[in-house]
Structure 1
Amino acid sequence: MRVSELLIEGFGRLPDLVESAVEGLSAEQLRWAPAPGANTIGWLVWHLTRVQDDHVTDLIDGAEQLWVSGDWAARFGLKPDPDDTGYGHTAAQVLAVHPDGPEALIGYFEAVSARTLEWLATLTEQDLDRVVDERWDPPVTLGVRLVSVLDDDTQHAGQAAYVRGLIP
């Protein structure tokens, strides 16, 4: 198995997780929090998609985030700020993420995922050793960054599924 195939397999599992976490829910249910200050399903799926959009875009030469280039932000009641990925959000900022329904979450994720999978197919084993972030010790390679994004997305999809199970 080629490394690109392995990454495609991993990232390719995310769409089903995202869809099963949000499909059939109302906009109100997507904004429901199980406790004050907790993350909502809508925020969790928005955040995991924003992270993938932001981080993978940084790895693709000349690419622009789909969040910025498309009309997605309006469907979430937000501005198309390329720096707003949800990291460090306060409880009020979490509640300010208002997807207009599951279609907004699924559509945005599908667009980001399709671009990610297409780009992953171009990678070689040698590409994974390229340093993409020197702010860390040791510096972060492309391979490590991709595993980090996949891990983050998988965890948040699982959290969204868990919160869905708590909806009264």
Structure 2
Amino acid sequence: MDSKRALWNSQQNLLKSILTKQDKFDEAIELCLQQHALVHASEMSKIEGMTFEDELWDGLEDFAFRTMPTAKDETIAWSLWHLTRIEDITMNILVADEEQVINSGDWLERMKVTVCDTGNSMSDEEIIELSNRLDMNELRNYRIAVGRKTREIIQRLKPSDVKRKMEPVRLQRILDEGAVLEAEESRWLIDFWGRKNVAGILLMPVTRHHIVHLNEAMRLKGKCRKLMDKK
């Protein structure tokens, strides 16, 4: 693990230890925003230096974006879609009880897709179909829009919010809006999120979930480059 990722993980552990402490609230929110900025493109937060997502986009070719190297893999396109949908869903429905970013404009049309769920229950064929359809640049723009909205929500939080549990009516909204499907491979997310408070959402879907999938996407990028070199 490189030093940059080791530092991010160390800071994430610190965030976990202080996020629910009222006397550390301001420090925790600032740290959360820093951690969040590093798992999005630098354009999203205007942070200086290269973020983990910047590293992924750097030199990323269309082939690598859309290709599933083996049947045991995903695609980079799917990973970025999945990450962004989950952040959009959890922050805007569960935390803020507001409209999802994806529903606030013509994002589906711009990204050239019709599905709007997290993609958890997709077969390999469906993942490849989504990956082939997705407009790479517009998916990146959607990620930027979701990230900026998340930061607005985080900056509005009060100390009393972080221990707030997820409301059943908001969990049901996720299903009603088709953001999570009733299939077994997806439905577990509702139960998982239902056991969390706001702090838990900030720690996992909004920050750590990103680093896990971005690391995997970097691995996929390397695999796809090896495939291209063999051609």
Q: TM-score, normalised by structure 2?
A: 0.64
1:16-165 aligned within 5 A:
16-58=51-93, 59-61=95-97, 63-79=98-114, 81=116, 84-97=117-130, 98-101=133-136, 103-132=137-166, 135=191, 139-149=195-205, 150-165=207-222
| Corresponding residue pairs, total | 164
Structure with more helix by fraction? 2
Return the structure number with greater relative CO, CA threshold 8 A, min gap 6.
1
* Structure 1 alignment gaps of length 5 or more: none
Letter in 1 for 2:148: A
Deviations 1:88-119 (A, max 9, x none): 22112211223222x22321111100111121
Distance in 2 between the 1:138 and 1:100 partners? 32
The separation in 1 between residues aligned to 2:73 and 2:88, in whole angstroms, is: 23
Could you tell me how far apart the structure 2 residues matched to 1:80 and 1:34 are?
23
Q: Distance in 2 between matches of 1:60 and 1:165?
A: 37
TM-score of the aligned structures, taking structure 1 as reference length: 0.85
Compute the displacement of 1:19 (Å): 3.1
Percent identity (aligned): 24
Task: Give 1:71 deviation, angstroms.
Answer: 2.3
Pick the structure with greater CA Rg: 2
